[in-house]
Amino acid sequence: MIHDPSGSAAQVIAVVFPTSPLLTAGAGLGLALFALGLGVGFVVERRHARGWYRRPGDPPPRRTRGVPTVMTALAWLLLALSLPAPTTPPAVVVLLTHLAFAAVLVAAACVDVCVQRLPDVLTLPAGAAATVLSILAVVAGDGPTSEAGARALLAGVVVPALTLVAALAVRGLGLGDVKLSWSLAAVSAWHGWSVLAAGLAITWLLAGLAAALLLLTGHADRRTPSPWAPSSPWARSWLWLWLCPSPSPLSPAPEHRDGRTPVGIRPSVEQPGVRDP
């Protein structure tokens, strides 16, 4: 079972945010991952400043002013608050996968803003890793984990295909967006179809709002390509905080205070002489 944080800080949080996932994740893990995220985000930002992605003719790297560092740290913190506590090997793998994916998203967003391009060195390994882990979940996982892996595999095929069709029909989308949607769809669908649908909707909504803001402020016109990747970290961060705790296949079944399983959920091990309520 996921442990509850203790101490005065947790009590204050419980009063201010009575439904916060912090009560079920652990403040220590969240703070540790936030600190590590600051370090990883700083590395991502430094590499971007050195222009690791540049090709001949590309503009010089833009000043990011600490945004990648803060975004990575916040994403890692939200992951610690949203995902099941890493008390089992599958939960550890899921957490590490999401942490790496968050860092990849931030790095891809920085490049997309600067040169409107998503490097294959980021998108293809992320999609391949998501596919391999989904296959392992289907083959070696239990019922909920196997179903989550199957969702991720299916979404990793359907969503990129639909994105490719949209890229051919809508101006502003490229093959890099199609490749990025491979891993985005797989990771989101792991938590449920509703998370996938909400993630796609929020990503497109934020991208549209950003494009409209650039048009209104005169920083772009209708022919200017609008980067799509930067809206993904924001959308996923919001989803990880609010949608992941309930549908995650690794989350334990809720229990009453007296230890009984709620109505409508069958206990994992039935004891002789004990009937379902």
Tens of pLDDT, residue by residue over 158-187, are 999 998 998 888 776 788 888 988 998 998
Q: Please tell me the predicted confidence (pLDDT) of residue 48.
A: 92
Q: Please tell me the predicted confidence (pLDDT) of residue 221.
A: 63
Q: Three-state SS across the chain?
A: CCCCCCCHHHHHHHHHCCCCCHHHHCHHHHHHHHHHHHHHHHHHHHHHHCCCCCCCCCCCCCCCCCHHHHHHHHHHHHHHHHCCCCCCHHHHHHHHHHHHHHHHHHHHHHHHHHHCCCCHHHHHHHHHHHHHHHHHHHHHCCHHHHHHHHHHHHHHHHHHHHHHHHHHHCCCCCHHHHHHHHHHHHHHHCCCHHHHHHHHHHHHHHHHHHHHHHHHCCCCCCCCCCCCCCHHHHHHHHHHHHCCCCCCCCCCCCCCCCCCCCCCCCCCCCCCCCCCC
Q: Please tell me the predicted confidence (pLDDT) of residue 20.
A: 45
Residues of the chain with pLDDT under 70: 1-26, 172, 211, 214, 218-277
Q: Please tell me the predicted confidence (pLDDT) of residue 267.
A: 42
Q: Please tell me the predicted confidence (pLDDT) of residue 88.
A: 86
Q: Please tell me the predicted confidence (pLDDT) of residue 40.
A: 96
Q: Please tell me the predicted confidence (pLDDT) of residue 253.
A: 43
Q: Please tell me the predicted confidence (pLDDT) of residue 227.
A: 63
Q: Please tell me the predicted confidence (pLDDT) of residue 30.
A: 85
Q: Please tell me the predicted confidence (pLDDT) of residue 39.
A: 96
Q: Please tell me the predicted confidence (pLDDT) of residue 264.
A: 37
| pTM above threshold 0.85 | no
